[in-house]
Structure 1
Amino acid sequence: MGNRVVVTGMGVVSPNGIGIPAFLHAIQNGISGIKFMPHYHELKFSCQVAGMPDFKWDSLTNYISEVTLHGLKGTNIAYGLMAALDAWKDSGMDYDTDEPRWETGCVFGNSIADTEAMRNVINRVDNKEVKKLGSRVVEQAMNSGVTSYISGRLGFGNKVLTNSAACATGTQAILMGYEYIKHGYAKRMLVGSAEHVDTYVFGAFDSMRVLSRKFNDSPEKASRPMSATAGGFIPGSGAGALVLEDLDFALARGAKIYAEVLGGSTNSGGQRLGGTMTAASSAGVLRCINESLVSSNINPNQIDLISGHLTATNADRQEIQYWCDALDRRGDNFPTTNSLKSMIGHSLSAAGSIETVASILQIVHSFVHPNINLDDPNPEITKLVSVDSLPVKMIKKEVNIVAKANFGFGDVNSCLILSKFN
C-alpha cells in the first residue's frame, strides 16, 4: 500500500491571479488573464495575445535578499520561486533553517532556461564581451536553476531535481514527489513547475501556426477549449507549487490538509500506433488513465470532475474521446469537465501544476469553475458527451475525486487522481 500522501500547502502565480486568494476569486468568477501584447503586434506575430501574470520583480524582496534578487534574471525561476515559497508558508513552515531539512526534497519542472536572459549572453559573447557577463550567468542558463533557488532558500536536504516533459511536466513533477513519499524516501516534497513563454518561445509556436489568431482584438475571448470556433491555443506563463507530506508526518505537526493524492501514472506512447512528436498515441493515453485508476484503487464512476488538458486545438475532440473510452462513460453519464486554459491560456510546463492547484481548490470549496468562451460547443464533442457536463458558469457541487491529466510533445502523458481528505 505505501504511505498516504496529502497536500498541506499551495502557491500560484497565474495570469488571472497571484496568490491563492486572488486565483480562487478569479476561477470562481470566470475571470480571464489573457491580454493584448503590443510587442507581439510590433513583431508582426499572427497571435498577439497571451496570458502573462501581473508580476512585479520588487515583490520578490519579501522572499529573498536584495543581493540574491540583483543576480536573478530568469523570469521562469522568479515565478517558480514565488509560488514555491508561498506554498511553503501556506503549509505553516518557516523559511529559515540552520541545518538541512533532510526529510524534505523538491521536484520542480520547467521547459528551458530563460531565453531572454540567454540572449544577453549570446550578444555579449558575439561582441567579444565575455568578461562583462558576470559570475552568476550560469545560474540563469542551467535548467535546474529553479530547483536550485528553491532548495537553497529553504535548505532542502533530500532529493532535489528538475524534470522536463513538455506539457506533462507539472503533473509529472507532482507524481514524482508523491511516489518518493509513498515509498518512504522522503517525508515531505515541494513540487510544481514554472514557465515563462518569452518572445522567442512564443515566436517558435507562432511559426507552427498552432496559436489562435482571430481574437487579437478581443483577447479575453481568444482561448476557447472545446469550442467550434477554437482556432489554436493561447500561450500562458506562471507557476504552481504544492507541499506534499506523509499523512502521519503532517498530522503529527498539526498541519492543515487540503486534499489527498490517491495515485497517478506517467508514461509515453513511444511515438508508435499513431503517436508522434506532437500527437499523443491513443494507446498511451488510455493506458496512463487506466493505470492511474488502478493505482488509486477507484473505479471510473467515482470521478466527479475531469480537469482536462484541452488546449483549444483539434486535439480537444480526441481527448474527450479518450476519456469516454478510458472511463466507459459518455453522454449524460460523462463526468463534469473543465479546462482552466479558457481563462489563462496554455502555460506549457506550468500548466499541470497550476491546474492541479485549481483542482484542489474546487475540492476544498465545493465548486466547479466555468469553461469560459464555450458558447458554441464543438458538435463533434457534444456527440460524445452531454453539453451539461461542460459548464459555462460556476456551479456549486460536492467534488470528492478529480482526475487531472496533461499530455505533452514527445508523446508523454501524465495523470493524477486527487481526493477530498477523509
Structure 2
Amino acid sequence: MVEVVVTGIGATSPLGGTARDSWTALLAGQSGVRTLEHDWIAEREIPITFAAEVAVKAEDVLERREIKRLDPSAQLALISAREAWADSGLEGIAPERILVDYATGIGGLWTLLDAWDTLREKGPRRVLPMTIPMLMPNAAAAAVSMELEARAGARTVVSACASGTESIANAYEHLQLGLADVVVAGGTESVVHPLPIAAFAAMQALSKRNDDPARASRPYDVDRDGFVLGEGAATLILETREHAEARGARIYAELAGGAVTSDSYHITAPDPEGGGASRAVLQALEQAGAGPEDVGHINAHATSTPVGDIAEYHALYSVFGEYVKQIPISATKAATGHLLGGTGALEAVFTVLALHERTAPPTINLDNQDPEIPLDVVTSPRTLPDGPLLALSNSFGFGGHNAVVAFRSN
C-alpha cells in the first residue's frame, strides 16, 4: 500500500478566513453563528433569522474579475485551495501529475436563482453568458484545477453532507492507483440564501433559536432542536509519502484510509441503527490497518438534530462497544454550523490539526448532555496522548450517503 500524507491545509469558514484562524477560534470556544443582516429576511418573511456565514467575505480576498466570474461556492473553494497550495510549498510539479477532487452538496445556487430572477424581471437578453459555467456543481473543481494547472483530472463529488469527506476518501484511492503524485481535495458550499433556509425550515431541520444564535447549534444536548446552516470551504493537499519526503515537505499527518457506504434507507433520515455508518467506520479502519482499539479521537458528524446525533452514537457503539465512552469526541459544528458539502473537508482539516498539535478541539453549547448519548464529549481543549494516534472524521448526508476518513499522527 502507498502511504498518503497531508502536506497543506487551507480553509475559509465562519470562524476565520484561513485554516489557522479558524482553528484558533475553534480552540477559543468561539461561535461563527450570527443573526443575518440581509433585507431578504424581512422581505421574504424567512422564519429562521441566523446562520454561520464566512468570517471573511470573498470580495475582501479575491479580485473583482474573479468575483464576477465565479459563484460564491467556487470563490470560497479558490480561496482555500490557494492557501493550502501555498502552505504545502509545492512547486515545479508536472501538471499531468496533479489531480483535483473537489466536492459540493448543492453547487452554484446563488447564480442559478439570481439568473432566474433576472429572466423573470428583465427578460432573456439580460441573463449573463457565464451563468451555466458558474452554476455547474463542478465549477469549484474546474476553478481550482485551472488555478493550479492540474491536468490529471478535475473530479466532483455531490453526495450531500458527506461530499467533502468522500472527496478525501477518493483522493486516497487516486494516489493508491498512481493516477497522480498530488491530489488537491476538499469541499465547498455557499447557500445562505432565502430558498434553502425556507426549505430546511419547512422540513423542521433547522434550529429555531432566533433569540440566541450563537448557542443554537448544540450537538448531544437534550435541548438540541436542529442544525444551523453554514458556509465555507476547506482544502487538503495530499501526496504520496515518497513524493513528500523527496522534496523535504512538512507532513501534518498521514491519511490512513477512507470509506464510503450507503444506507438505502430514507431520503433524509439516517438508518436509526447506524448500519451504513458503522460499515464505513469499519472499512476506513481496515484500510488503515487498524482496529477499533487504536482510535484515539473522533471528529463526529454531530449536526445537532434529535435523530441524527443518536443514530451516529448507535453506529459508533456498534463498532467500539463500551470503549467508545473512552474516546475523546469533538463536535465542531457547534461552532461552525453545518457547511453541507463543505463540512467534511473543514472537519478533516480540524482532525489533521488535532493530531498535529495533539489537541482535541472543544464542543461548545453542551449544557445538559443527552443521557442516551453517553460519549466522552470534549468541552474544552484537551491534550491528546503522545505516541502513534489514529483519528476519524465522520460525515453522513441526505440520501443515505456515509463517508469516513482515518488520519494517523506522523
- Between the aligned partners of 1:254 and 1:100, the Cα distance in structure 2 is 17
Distance 1:365 1:322, change over 3 A: same
**Is residue 108–residue 136 contact of structure 2 (8 Å, CA) maintained in 1?**
no
In the superposition, the TM-score normalised over structure 1's length comes to 0.91
Correspondence list, 1:26-105, <5 A: 26-39=25-38, 41-42=41-42, 43-61=44-62, 66-72=64-70, 74-94=71-91, 101-105=95-99
Tell me, what secondary structure is at the counterpart of 2:96? coil
Tell me, what secondary structure is at the counterpart of 1:102? helix
Identify the residue that residue 361 of structure 1 maps to in structure 2.
353
- Does 2:318 correspond to 1:318? no
**Is residue 13–residue 54 contact of structure 2 (8 Å, CA) maintained in 1?**
yes
What are the Cα deviations for residues 152-177 of structure 1, in whole angstroms up to 9, with x where unaligned?
11100102111100010011000101
Displacement of 1:93: 2.6
**Is residue 344–residue 394 contact of structure 2 (8 Å, CA) maintained in 1?**
yes
Identify the residue that residue 297 of structure 1 maps to in structure 2.
289
Tell me, what secondary structure is at the counterpart of 1:328? helix
Paired letter, 2:51:
A
Correspondence list, 1:220-235, <5 A: 220-235=214-229
Tell me, what secondary structure is at the counterpart of 2:79? helix
Tell me, what secondary structure is at the counterpart of 1:157? coil
- Between the aligned partners of 2:280 and 2:23, the Cα distance in structure 1 is 29
Identity %: 27
- Between the aligned partners of 1:347 and 1:418, the Cα distance in structure 2 is 21
Displacement of 1:128: 6.0
- Between the aligned partners of 1:24 and 1:340, the Cα distance in structure 2 is 10
Displacement of 1:71: 2.5
**Is residue 190–residue 243 contact of structure 1 (8 Å, CA) maintained in 2?**
yes
Matched residue count: 402
Displacement of 1:126: 2.9
2:269 pairs with 266, 269, 279, which one? 279
Paired letter, 2:26:
I
Distance 1:9 1:268, change over 3 A: same
1:413 pairs with 397, 402, 405, which one? 402
1:403 pairs with 381, 389, 392, which one? 392
Unaligned runs of 5+ in 1: none
2:130 pairs with 112, 119, 136, which one? 136
**Is residue 105–residue 158 contact of structure 1 (8 Å, CA) maintained in 2?**
yes
Tell me, what secondary structure is at the counterpart of 1:138? helix
In the superposition, the TM-score normalised over structure 2's length comes to 0.94
Tell me, what secondary structure is at the counterpart of 1:45? coil
Displacement of 1:127: 4.4
Correspondence list, 1:64-213, <5 A: 66-72=64-70, 74-94=71-91, 101-127=95-121, 129-199=123-193, 200-213=195-208
- Between the aligned partners of 1:394 and 1:167, the Cα distance in structure 2 is 26
Greater mean deviation of Cα atoms: 241-250 or 106-115: 106-115
**Is residue 402–residue 418 contact of structure 1 (8 Å, CA) maintained in 2?**
yes
**Is residue 58–residue 76 contact of structure 2 (8 Å, CA) maintained in 1?**
no
Tell me, what secondary structure is at the counterpart of 1:223? coil
Correspondence list, 1:344-355, <5 A: 344-355=336-347
What are the Cα deviations for residues 270-325 of structure 1, in whole angstroms up to 9, with x where unaligned?
x2xxx211122332122111111111110111111111111111221221121011
Paired letter, 2:249:
A
